[in-house]
Amino acid sequence: MRLADAALALYALVCLAALTWPGLALVGGAAEPLVLGLPRSLAWHVGWVALSFVALALYHRATRGEHEDP
């Protein structure tokens, strides 16, 4: 397994932990205070989706040219 694959797998596990019980317990279910007009728990999920996009874009850049179509 290459470094980029291992880093993406590690990020996926961190993302899973952040969006389920261990990480979501940190932000709680309170509707106040608002973050950019969103309840804090929804802003937490939106932020992780945005970070996932960045992580996948970096992974694509790191592995570009290694996968060729037959």
Query: Tens digit of pLDDT per residue, the chain (70 long)?
Result: 689 999 999 999 999 999 998 888 888 777 788 889 998 888 999 999 999 999 999 999 999 877 665 5
Domain spans, the chain: 18-62
- What counts of helices (H) and strands (E) characterise the chain? 3, 2
The token duo for 9 is: 């797998």
Q: What is the pLDDT of residue 68?
A: 62
Strand partners, 35: 38
